């Protein structure tokens, strides 16, 4: 009898662990959706300022495929009806982005991409809230940097400059908060990027954004 009871306890612990591990994977996939939504928008804006940069077309296509993989994983591993409803809504936004990527780029298509990227981001946050995940307290700034880059590019390309400037400042403050207590190298790398973002309006070199983000990756900051 004791042996059976012991096996039941072990089985219960195993099932609890498996469920918790599954939730962690769903949260990771959801965070990746939020990250990719911002990366796609940032790269699309960069493509607008550098239309001959054909490698970005492939990267955008691959990121859409990664989005679809994350969608399928969450749909397969979650039984929550609310989450499935959110995914259905987000899938529509993702499909709209795919259609836009197959058309000529313009200021109108940029505005649409920005809107859909925000929809994906907000939907991902809703899923994270369902799992009671405190995204705001997450120290990972990878997605925040993509947001900052996106709004910086939109601001200087003249896409809703007032609104996007406000969003840029807001996202920068979020990073500042997350980096409190960080080491000197991390703060130095952020200050270099921050100085660029705060530069005068006529000073705009999109490539520097990529260089500084790469520097932060090389230093394992993101």
Q: Tens-digit pLDDT profile for the chain (222 aa)?
A: 555 544 444 444 433 444 567 888 999 999 999 999 999 999 999 999 888 888 889 999 999 999 999 999 999 998 889 999 999 999 999 999 999 999 999 999 999 999 999 999 999 999 999 988 887 778 788 899 899 989 989 988 889 989 998 999 999 999 888 888 777 777 777 887 787 777 665 666 666 666 666 666 665 555
Statement to judge: residues 108 and 199 lie in one domain: no
- Domain termination site, one of 84, 110, 131: 131
Instruction: Tell the residue number behind the tokens 């100085």, with chain if given.
Output: 195
- Give the domain extent around 20: 1-131
Residue 219 has what pLDDT? 58
Residue 199 has what pLDDT? 65
Statement to judge: residues 64 and 77 lie in one domain: yes
Structural domains in the chain (count): 2
Where residue 132 falls (left for φ over 0; alpha for ψ -120 to 50; beta otherwise) is left
Statement to judge: residues 142 and 160 lie in one domain: yes
Statement to judge: residues 90 and 142 lie in one domain: no
CA distances from 20 to 23, 131, 147, 179, 205 (A): 5, 11, 29, 28, 45
Statement to judge: residues 33 and 113 lie in one domain: yes
């Amino acid at each position: 009898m004791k042996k059976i009871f012991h096996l039941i306890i072990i089985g219960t612990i195993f099932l609890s662990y498996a469920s918790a591990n599954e939730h962690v994977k769903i949260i990771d996939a959801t965070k990746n959706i939020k990250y990719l939504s911002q990366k796609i928008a940032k790269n699309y804006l960069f493509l607008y300022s550098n239309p001959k940069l054909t490698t970005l077309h492939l990267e955008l296509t691959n990121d859409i495929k990664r989005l679809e993989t994350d969608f399928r994983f969450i749909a397969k591993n979650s039984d929550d009806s609310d989450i499935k409803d959110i995914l259905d809504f987000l899938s529509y936004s993702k499909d709209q982005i795919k259609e836009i990527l197959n058309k000529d780029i313009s200021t109108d298509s940029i505005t649409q991409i920005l809107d859909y990227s925000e929809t994906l981001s907000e939907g991902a946050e809703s899923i994270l809230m369902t799992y009671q995940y405190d995204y705001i307290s997450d120290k990972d700034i990878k997605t925040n940097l993509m947001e900052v880059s996106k709004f910086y590019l939109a601001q200087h390309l003249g896409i809703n400059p007032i609104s996007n400037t406000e969003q840029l400042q807001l996202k920068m403050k979020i990073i500042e908060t997350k980096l409190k207590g960080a080491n000197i190298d991390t703060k130095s790398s952020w200050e270099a990027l921050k100085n660029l973002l705060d530069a005068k309006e006529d000073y705009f070199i999109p490539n520097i954004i990529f260089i500084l983000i790469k520097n932060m990756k090389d230093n394992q900051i993101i």
